[in-house]
Chain A
Amino acid sequence: MHNFPAILLDDELWRIVTLSLQVSLSAVGIAMALGLPLGAALAVWRFPGRDVVVVTLNALMGLPPVVVGLVVYLLLSRAGPLGQLGLLFTPGAMVIAQTILILPIAAALCRQAVEDAWREYEEQLRSLGVEGLQAALTVLWDIRFSLLTAVLAGLGRASAEVGAVMIVGGNIDGVTRVMTTTIALETSKGDLPLALGLGIVLIGVVLLLNGAAHLVKEAAQRRYG
């Protein structure tokens, strides 16, 4: 890769963008699958110590990526407990690390949204004979468009971070090199204009994704009300 804007035509750049999207979108997908039901359950279920859990979950939204990267590295290293899996320095490890980063965002934002909606829905659903987990899932599905914000927040966090993917991925040329680690590399090589250019590409890609999500939301809201 040489200079901006010539790099926009470079195959390598788009391979890196594709890998970045694969990793971050996979992490978002898994984090949502796990975090949304968790958030909904937390919104609806009352148990001793619930406040502590809620506060902790909110705080975990600010987990430092580099710390998560370090912990996952130690787990996946051959010298660590999960070394047998051979996942270190693969895109799989990057997905795992980013999933851990996004999970609290998914759960905490979902909890808040469901808790707010619960006040509106709970009584009516109970009257219709629907309670507990089934009611929580009904509400969760009904507010799916508001949850889109949580998804985009998670995606933003994942595509922006460099600390975790650098450590667990190793920034291997052609294998685990993503947009953010490439920008870090070019910066440390002193090629600041290129780094800046790549940064603009990254922001552009994320903007496009957000725009697409917005259009989907608009269309769906028109259909379902």
Chain B
Amino acid sequence: MILPLRLDEVSLTIQGRTVIHPLSLEIAAGPATIILGANGAGKSVLMRLMHGLLSPTSGRVQWRDADPDRVRRMQAMVFQRPVMLRRSALANVQYPLQAAGVAEPERSRVAAAALQEVGLHHLAGRPARAFSGGEQQRLALARAWALHPEVLFLDEPTASLDPTATREIESIIRAFDASGTKIIMATHNLGQARRLGDEVLFIHQGRLVERALVDRFFNQPASAEAAAFIKGELPWV
């Protein structure tokens, strides 16, 4: 188990600008965590700090497990725009498995099962780059699924998709959640937060302003910024 994840006074300053102010929090296994905030609030940056793609300027990102390899392997992230290799869909799902040392025939079996899970099995041999936006995002989820991560980060996964594709992605995320994977998802879509989340971390101008369970957050926001955001008044920060 690599959870819980603890951030100890983690901050990030880029070229003189403080993007994340010193922030401490703990994320436990179980509830689907939504990182909510306006565009530019620092949601993506915070996720990348947690996932290890960025190093904090100060403070520590601490997982329960001390082994860095295990910590890395038990996480996966899906980005707003998925990056696929110029290979078939199946080959793309196999790629990280191969990098992790998974041998045949296990590798093909796991990859095929992952494609099945997201409903892309019939397109396994097609070039991934030829897929539509929604299909590529589903493929990204299949790729993450194949790794059987303990934690799945999602950075605004449906921001670029149409409603139908969005629904498909959301149902896959729900399936991940139901199978026991910890969901940590950044979004500025209030409806999506309500549909998929159990708790909300509300970020505003690089600070964690409020943290609450979904129902309490939306019905009785404690902070003025959260209230304004919910009312749709907070535009770009």
Residue of A123, A124, A129, A138 near B100 (CB, 8 A) is: A129
A126 with B128: CB separation less than 8 A: no
CA gap between A149 and B82 in the complex, in Å: 27
CA gap between A128 and B96 in the complex, in Å: 6
A129 with B99: CB separation less than 8 A: yes
Is A47 positioned at the interface, with any CB of B under 8 Å from its CB?
no
Is A116 positioned at the interface, with any CB of B under 8 Å from its CB?
no
Question: Do most interface residues of chain A lie in helix, strand or loop, or is the interface mixed?
Answer: helix
* Min CB–CB distance B153 → chain A (angstroms): 8
B99 with A124: CB separation less than 8 A: no
B143 with A128: CB separation less than 8 A: yes
Is A51 positioned at the interface, with any CB of B under 8 Å from its CB?
no
Is B40 positioned at the interface, with any CB of A under 8 Å from its CB?
no
CA gap between A142 and B85 in the complex, in Å: 6
* Min CB–CB distance A126 → chain B (angstroms): 6
Q: 1/0 per position for A107-129, CB-CB distance to B under 8 A?
A: 00000000000001101111111
Q: 1/0 per position for B78-109, CB-CB distance to A under 8 A?
A: 01001101110000000110011000000000
CA gap between A129 and B73 in the complex, in Å: 7
Residues on B with beta carbons closer than 8 Å to the beta carbon of A223: 127
A130 with B99: CB separation less than 8 A: yes
Residues on A with beta carbons closer than 8 Å to the beta carbon of B129: 224-225
Residue of A124, A145, A224, A225 near B83 (CB, 8 A) is: A124
Q: 1/0 per position for A80-121, CB-CB distance to B under 8 A?
A: 000000000000000000000000000000000000000011
Is A188 positioned at the interface, with any CB of B under 8 Å from its CB?
no
Question: From residue 101 to 159 of chain B, which have CB atoms closer than 8 A to chain A?
Answer: 127-130, 143
Given contacts A142-B85, A224-B87, A225-B86, contact A127 B51 (CB under 8 A): yes
Residues on A with beta carbons closer than 8 Å to the beta carbon of B127: 223-225
A134 with B85: CB separation less than 8 A: no
Question: From residue 39 to 91 of chain B, which have CB atoms closer than 8 A to chain A?
Answer: 51, 53, 72-73, 76-77, 79, 82-83, 85-87
In the complex, the chain B residue whose C-beta lies closest to that of A220 is B86
Residues on A with beta carbons closer than 8 Å to the beta carbon of B95: 128, 130, 138
In the complex, the chain A residue whose C-beta lies closest to that of B82 is A124
Given contacts A126-B53, A127-B53, A128-B99, contact A224 B86 (CB under 8 A): yes
Given contacts A128-B143, A223-B127, 20 further A-B contacts (CB under 8 A): A120-B83, A123-B53, A123-B79, A124-B82, A126-B53, A127-B51, A127-B53, A127-B77, A127-B79, A128-B95, A128-B99, A129-B99, A129-B100, A130-B96, A130-B99, A142-B85, A142-B86, A224-B86, A224-B87, A224-B129
Residues of B within 8 A of A (CB): 51, 53, 72-73, 76-77, 79, 82-83, 85-87, 95-96, 99-100, 127-130, 143
